[in-house]
């Protein structure tokens, strides 16, 4: 928990203050060690949760997730056979299921939610965080890159797709036998890696690294 002494806050320089993004409660920037958490006293939002060697781990797990996504994309996902007939689908096929006529926009949206946005977020996070390892200067436009990654977070739906797969399997189970392919397992692992990677992303840690390393500190970032 953060401690607040209201009378002291006004005397502090602005760089030493932080406000809760959800409820606007004002705090003195605390020292939070790895594995500790700073939680908003009022609304309970986790404000800071730094992790040791977070940047290295974020880059490693993001790279791993990108590779898994590439593998999952083009290997067989599910294989269906019924009464001597045979059909299979890759994740790409699933995304393209709506690819005729009026359904095309939906096809694009599904491809975005399960492939393009997760991949783009991973790439942007690697671009932002990789130069920061060891206290390096941020890449050009890193603040913008991390902002986009942040905005896209609700629209990355790989984990929801996995639940959708489970439901679809049950629906099909009655009429045909389904064999999971390589991509099925790869995608499952991908979701676990994504959740793991997310656990190392502390936004205060990344924003302060982007800020402190700026040579023209105080200027508006690109």
Partner 1 sequence: MTVRIPTARGAGLVACTRCGRVHEPQTPRCTRCGSALQSRDTRSLQRVWAWWAAGLIAYIPANIYPMLLTSALGSSTQSTILGGVVELWAHGDLPIAIIVFVASVVIPVGKFLAIAFLALKLRGPHKPDRHGRHRLYEVVEFIGRWSMIDVFVVAILASLVQFSLVATVNPGLAAICFALSVAFTMQAALSFDPRIIWDD
Site stretch for partner 1 (CB under 8 A), options 54-62, 66-74, 96-104, 131-139 = 96-104
> How far apart are CB 85 and partner 1 at their closest, in Å?
5
Asked if 109 and 187 touch (Cβ cutoff 8 Å), the reply is no
Which of the 8 DSSP states describes residue 115? I
Report 163-182 residues binding partner 1 (CB under 8 A): 163-168, 170-172, 174-176, 178
Tell which residue, 154, 159, 158, 124, has the closest CA to residue 142.
124
Q: Using the rule CB under 8 A, which residue among 24, 37, 74, 196 binds partner 1? A: 24
Which of 127, 130, 146, 200 is the binder for partner 1 (CB under 8 A)?
146
- Quick check: 137 binds partner 1 (CB under 8 A)? no
* Binding window for partner 1 (CB under 8 A); candidates: 4-12, 121-129, 132-140, 194-202: 4-12
Please answer whether residues 145 and 127 qualify as being in contact, where contact means their C-beta atoms are separated by less than 8 angstroms.
Answer: yes
Q: Could you tell me which stretch among 22-30, 68-76, 115-123, 188-196 binds partner 1 (CB under 8 A)?
A: 22-30
Cβ-based nearer residue to partner 1, 20 or 194: 20
Length of the chain in residues, anyone?
Answer: 222
Residue 183 interacts with partner 1 (CB under 8 A): yes or no: no
Tokens encoding 149: 């990654």
Q: Please tell me the distance from the alpha carbon of residue 38 to that of residue 45, in angstroms, as a whole number.
A: 9
Strand pairing partners for 86?
81
Q: Please select the residue that binds partner 1; options are 39, 66, 88, 182, rule is CB under 8 A.
A: 88
Instruction: Report the site for partner 1 in 49-68 (rule: CB under 8 A).
Output: none
Name which position in 51, 116, 150, 185 contacts partner 1 (CB under 8 A): 150
Q: Binding of partner 1 at residue 215 (CB under 8 A)?
A: no
Question: Where is 17: in which H helix or E strand?
Answer: strand 17-19
Return the number of the residue (9 or 192) whose C-beta is nearest partner 1. Answer: 9
Under the criterion CB under 8 A, does residue 46 sit at the interface with partner 1?
A: no
Cβ within 8 Å of residue 10, ≥6 positions away: none
**Contact call for residues 121 and 159 (beta carbons, < 8 A):** no
Q: Are 95 and 111 in contact (CB under 8 A)?
A: yes
Distance CA 57, CA 200 (A): 7
Quote the least distance from Cβ 111 to partner 1, whole Å.
Answer: 10
Of the two residues 64 and 221, which places its CB atom closer to partner 1 in the complex? Answer: 221
Q: Taking Cα atoms as reference points, which of 110, 75, 46, 86 lies closest to residue 182?
A: 75
């Amino acid at each position: 928990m953060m401690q607040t002494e209201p009378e002291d806050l006004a005397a502090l320089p602005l760089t030493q203050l932080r406000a809760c993004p959800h409820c606007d409660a004002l705090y003195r920037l605390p020292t939070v060690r790895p594995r500790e958490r700073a939680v908003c006293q009022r609304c309970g939002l986790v404000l800071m949760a730094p992790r040791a060697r977070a940047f290295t781990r974020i880059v490693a797990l993001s790279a791993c997730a990108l590779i898994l996504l590439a593998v999952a994309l083009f290997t067989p996902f599910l294989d269906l056979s019924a009464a001597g007939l045979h059909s299979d689908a890759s994740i790409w096929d699933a995304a393209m299921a709506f690819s005729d006529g009026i359904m095309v926009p939906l096809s694009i949206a599904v491809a975005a939610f399960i492939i393009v946005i997760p991949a783009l977020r991973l790439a942007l996070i690697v671009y932002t965080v990789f130069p920061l390892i060891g206290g390096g200067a941020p890449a050009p436009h890193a603040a913008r890159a991390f902002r986009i990654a942040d905005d896209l977070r609700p629209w990355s739906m790989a984990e929801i797709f996995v639940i959708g797969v489970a439901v679809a399997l049950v629906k099909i189970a009655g009429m045909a036998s389904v064999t999971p392919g390589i991509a099925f397992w790869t995608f499952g692992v991908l979701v676990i890696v994504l959740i793991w990677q997310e656990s190392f992303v502390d936004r205060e840690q990344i924003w302060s690294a982007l800020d402190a390393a700026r040579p023209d500190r105080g200027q508006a970032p690109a």
